[in-house]
Amino acid sequence: MLGFIYSWPLDFLPRKAPSPRFISTRKFGADIPNNRGGNYKYPTWDCRHGRVLLRDNWAPTHLVVWDPMTGRQRKLKVPTSMGYVDGATAFFCAASGCDHRACHAGPFQVVFLGLDMTDDDNCVAHARVSAPVTGDWSKSCSDFEWSDMCSSLQLSPDALIDSMPSILVENALHFMLTHDADDSVEILKYDLSSNCLWLIDAPLSGAIISGSTILMAMEDGSLGFAHVDKVTLNIWSRQLDANGIASWTMCRVVELMNLIPIQNPTKRLKLIGSVEGSDTIFITADLGIYEVNIRTLQWKKLWKREKFRYLIPYMSFYNPPEWLRPCDVAH
């Protein structure tokens, strides 16, 4: 996995935030000081709204919310009733009306999604969301409240949650589901407003090669689905028609051979992540890892080629002390 730190000074933010620039990179899991002595590596599960959600390998039922800008962290405990054979977690800001440009110290919520096998070998999905956790980082979160478990959704017995982080679109979290039996994919949607789970068909049917697809939160606010076939990138967007019925529409086809440097077109390309709300995806090719904007077709090389499963973009806004005005310091 690979993580990037984005930063913009708050004094220079326009009404619409510009595309972020890279100022540094770090590999995830994160090395965080703890009370065991030294640093300990935590694998990353999600990243959004200025904070990163990590798992404590010493205690698998514990999660860590980490603010890389300040180094502050909070530990959360997964409810013991959420026994699961496969699971995922997601993080999001809980501040009402927030534009998410400087909310890394505010309240947040965590969603836990689990898949369980029943006694008759059926697979069911269920989810629980935490109550808003205050931004007071000095308090313990070991006993914070969780919502009632949502109604179970029955899935195919071979369903698994892909390790790619969740995608937040229209107050709903979306997770990629894979199937061992035929290598097909589906999308599991958790609606935060109704506390309900829904299953969405992918725009592609049949076997899908691992690493060739990702979910996206498109710049227009829709759910996107990207798939790379050899050197061709196909993008679908899930749109509502006049009757309020959602369906997939092919919105972009990009011949990557004509866009980014590719030395060996027979070497498989991989999609390893996206930036929510920006039409930006990350692609691993034989010569490196590239950031590509599918709307403008602008691209840049980020890293030499390495075996990253996925890339997690971290975005936050920070004012170094020398940029603060006297009135800011006073208040």
β-strand pairing of 223-229 with 213-217: antiparallel
Read off the pLDDT of residues 216-262 as tens digits, 9 standing for 90 and up: 999 999 999 999 999 999 999 999 888 888 899 999 999 999 999 99
Least Cα distance to 32 among 5, 67, 1, 3 occurs for 67
pLDDT value of position 145: 75
Q: How far is CA 207 from CA 174, 178, 213, in A?
A: 20, 10, 11
Residue 175's pLDDT band, with cuts at 50, 70 and 90, is very high
Residue 190's pLDDT band, with cuts at 50, 70 and 90, is very high
By the 8 A CB rule, do 301 and 288 touch?
A: yes
The C-alpha atoms of residue 325 and residue 23 are separated, in whole angstroms, by: 23
What pTM did the predictor assign?
Answer: 0.83
* Least confident range of 22-31, 80-89, 152-161, 181-190: 22-31
Q: Which tokens belong to 31?
A: 């090395």
Least Cα distance to 46 among 211, 212, 136, 167 occurs for 167
Q: What percent of the chain has pLDDT over 70?
A: 75
Q: Higher model confidence: residue 284 or residue 313?
A: 284
Read off the pLDDT of residues 102-155 as tens digits, 9 standing for 90 and up: 777 788 888 888 888 877 888 899 888 888 887 665 555 555 677 777 878 999
34 pLDDT above the threshold of 70: no
Judge residue 213's burial from the number of C-beta atoms within 10 Å of its C-beta, 0-12 exposed, 13-18 middle, 19 or more buried.
buried
The C-alpha atoms of residue 66 and residue 73 are separated, in whole angstroms, by: 4
What domains does the chain contain, in order, with CATH numbers? 3-314 (2.120.10)
- Strand order in 51-55's β-sheet? 44-48, 51-55, 62-66, 73-77
pLDDT value of position 257: 94
Q: What percent of the chain has pLDDT over 90?
A: 31
The C-alpha atoms of residue 321 and residue 314 are separated, in whole angstroms, by: 21
By the 8 A CB rule, do 294 and 259 touch?
A: no
